[in-house]
Structure 1
Amino acid sequence: MASIKRRADGVWRARYRDPAGKEHARHFSRKVDAQRWLDEVTSTVVTGTYTDPALSRVTVGEWGRRWLDGHAALKPSTRGRYESLMRCHIEPRWGTTSIRAVNVADVESWLADMMARGLAASSVRQAYRVLSLILEHAVRAGRLPRNPAGGASLPRAHPRDKRFLSHAEVQRLTTAAGDYRLVVEMLAFTGLRFGELAALRVGRVDLLRRRLEIAESVTEVNGATVFGTPKTHHRRSVPIPRSLIDELAQVVAGRAPGELLFTSPEGGILRVGNFRKRVFDRAALRGGPARAHPARAPAHRGQPRGVRRSERQSRPTPPRACLGRDDPGRLLRAVRRRPGCRR
């Protein structure tokens, strides 16, 4: 039911009842404006896209926190990334804005501003994706008729050319890594992600069948290490190259199945930053292959069990651009795609 009436003071009052029977009203100085508003509202009721205006007053910041809290199944690393994007890019611009006030023009202006501040196109696209997920959740909850950020023009990401390492290049890198050689070889010739290698336990190394059972991964979230499932949430079996069997046999000998295969010198979990700073960057400078050209491949870093020498001395800063990413394993795992890599 909808109607328009003129009050004694000359103001036009438009009112309607929503599908739940709740009455809503607005006042206008002109009848034509009241009729236009009423037509728009009643059309959404007829088409089934009606949403209660009171529900859409919630801010993007508040609804974003509800959205994130409701995703208990997110991997810790994904949750940490979403929290960072919300804290750094979404809440400063949209935190106090009601979800109904978001529009595609303002979203595109926000994207352009992030690009102008030097943020990478991939990061801009990630921030947009989180905002869009928040608003899409509001649509599913009946707070918005549609996603107001949908259809925004996104910056195009320009991936770097991939460079794959040869067997000889990996050999030079592993030699330069010294006591960390086996970890580097495992990353290069098994294709494991660093978190998977760091979480690999002795009992999941089957030397007779030459298989690794990949069932866990470990990530760092806000400085803390968190164990979880692999990136795909699926266990898998990975072949062990014959050339690594003898060395692995020495590492697993006499150890309990539940122990981590590789640990830090102090016996703790392998930390991603330690290996990159203390081992891989230095190895790349001394004789590794990552000097000449950028590379992109999956990520791993690590510190093997039993290292005795000190890594505390100062080191020159390596040419990060030549590594493609700060993730040495991204470079290493690509070697498996080259002809002649050992099995």
Structure 2
Amino acid sequence: MATVEAYETKTGRRWRVRYRTPDRRQTDKRGFATKRDARAFAATIEVRKTMGTFVSPTAGRVSVDELATAWLEKKKQSTAPSHYRTLESSWRTHVQPMWATRPVAEMTTIEVEGWITAMARRGHGTTTVRRAHAVLSGILSDAVKAHRLVVNPALGVENLPRRVARRHRYLTASDVHALAVEAGEHRVLVLLLAFCGLRWGEAIALRVGDVEFLRQRILVSTSAVQIGGSHQIGPTKERRSRSVPVPQFVLDELPRRCVDKARDDLVFPGPDGGYLLRPRSSTGWFAAALRRAGLPTITPHDLRHTCASLAVSAGANVLALQRMLGHRSAKVTLDVYADLFDSDLDDVASNLDAAYAPETVGTTWAGSAGISTSFLAKSRLISEDADDIPPSAEVG
């Protein structure tokens, strides 16, 4: 148990709390002006030891920079290379200059909120601010798990800017075919992106052996992520393989990309035989094909959104769409493409009307309040016989 002791200083009496840490080491905290404050601290220490939330004062002296190295290494192992690159850049550009040398125990939520406000005032966008906050919060969460902090001061901030969802741009099927014609040698790639929903990195990493012509499927297990002018090869974004259905008219186009190739050869190689670089946003082949087809400006990734739209229009349900696109869960699919399922609400009303309208169920309705005559008749019978109902029957 913690003990409270008095000691004398030049400015008067002060109080000291002696206690043992969970690993049985003796320590103390000095400088309490009153015995009441010392006892309150002692009680807090004992409660935290019992609850398993005790944090040694010396443990919180570690700097954010010291913890960031391990956190970034963990993220490097568990996330896609492209995502890790954004996290590392955010740490180096926004988090490290402000917090690197700060002991984690000295940080407060108010300071974190001030940092967020300062970034917004300097003109940083919502994504930049939220990513920087996520990096700092992730590092401090590790401090909590390592019993260096009791709570994460980056959690519960009130001024984090809200994301404004960007409305997806969808092409029609005829738009896609027109774009494919104008894409020339990249025709099959455009069809694959728009009708199978592969991510760009997944499509350019596709190998001949991944195309299952008899099953009308494509096995997607690898992604080639472009970082600068080179590619890093790794698993898909969700780090798991999936089997993607291929419409027959797209499957009929694929043999011309696979002829005279070995199973391990790329289906869509670049000019040098390596991985195909992403087309430049304004001067690349994709932008040129859009202009020739008279279509609005979109990115190759927008063809993935188009695939979702076309699949839903063709009758695909949420679970099928989730598996096709490789989302972690159906919730992610609904969150990303909620606008595609707006018509489902109209269908609910139409289906209810068709199934339960008065002429369908044989019920006549009385008055504008919509109370059926059969219900009114039953109510009168119950009212008339109310005196005959046993007391126990009145409950429930």
| TM-score (norm: length of structure 2) | 0.70
Q: Is the 8 A contact 2:168 2:302 kept in 1?
A: no
**Equivalence for 2:126:** 121
| TM-score (norm: length of structure 1) | 0.80
Distance 1:277 1:186, change over 3 A: farther
Amino acid across the alignment from 1:12: R
Q: Is the 8 A contact 1:138 1:144 kept in 2?
A: yes
Mapped pair 1:12 → 2:17: no
**Equivalence for 1:307:** none
Q: CA deviation at 1:222?
A: 5.5
Q: CA deviation at 1:13?
A: 5.1
Q: CA deviation at 1:262?
A: 0.8
Percent pairwise identity: 33
Q: Deviations over 1:257-276 (max 9, x none)?
A: 01111111111111225587
Q: CA deviation at 1:256?
A: 0.6
Q: Deviations over 1:162-197 (max 9, x none)?
A: 332111222232222222222111111111111110
Separation in 2, partners of 1:63, 1:196? 34
**Structure 1: tracts of 5 or more residues without a match:** 292-322
Q: CA deviation at 1:144?
A: 0.9
Aligned pairs (5 A) from 1:156-167: 156-167=162-173
1:247 counterpart SS class: coil
Separation in 1, partners of 2:9, 2:107? 36
Amino acid across the alignment from 1:329: H
| Superposed CA RMSD | 2.5
**Equivalence for 1:198:** 204
Aligned pairs (5 A) from 1:1-343: 1-7=2-8, 9=10, 10=12, 12=14, 14-16=16-18, 17-28=20-31, 30-31=33-34, 34=38, 37-71=41-75, 72-153=77-158, 154-221=160-227, 223-274=229-280, 277-291=283-297, 323=298, 327-331=299-303, 333-338=305-310, 339=313
Separation in 1, partners of 2:251, 2:50? 70
Q: Deviations over 1:247-296 (max 9, x none)?
A: 311211121101111111111111225587411122222324224xxxxx
Amino acid across the alignment from 2:59: L
Q: Is the 8 A contact 1:276 1:328 kept in 2?
A: no
2:270 counterpart SS class: coil
Q: Is the 8 A contact 1:202 1:261 kept in 2?
A: yes
Q: Deviations over 1:115-171 (max 9, x none)?
A: 222222233222222221211111111111121222112221111223321112222
Separation in 2, partners of 1:276, 1:258? 32
Amino acid across the alignment from 2:24: G
Q: CA deviation at 1:30?
A: 2.9
**Equivalence for 1:299:** none
Q: CA deviation at 1:8?
A: 5.7
**Structure 2: tracts of 5 or more residues without a match:** 316-396
Distance 1:252 1:53, change over 3 A: same
Q: Is the 8 A contact 1:172 1:289 kept in 2?
A: no
Separation in 1, partners of 2:180, 2:302? 15
Separation in 1, partners of 2:108, 2:301? 41
Distance 1:340 1:287, change over 3 A: farther
Amino acid across the alignment from 1:233: R
Farther-moved stretch of structure 1 (167-176 vs 137-146): 167-176
Distance 1:45 1:332, change over 3 A: closer
Q: Is the 8 A contact 2:170 2:302 kept in 1?
A: no
Separation in 2, partners of 1:143, 1:79? 25
Higher helix share: 2
Q: Is the 8 A contact 2:54 2:150 kept in 1?
A: yes
Separation in 2, partners of 1:104, 1:258? 53
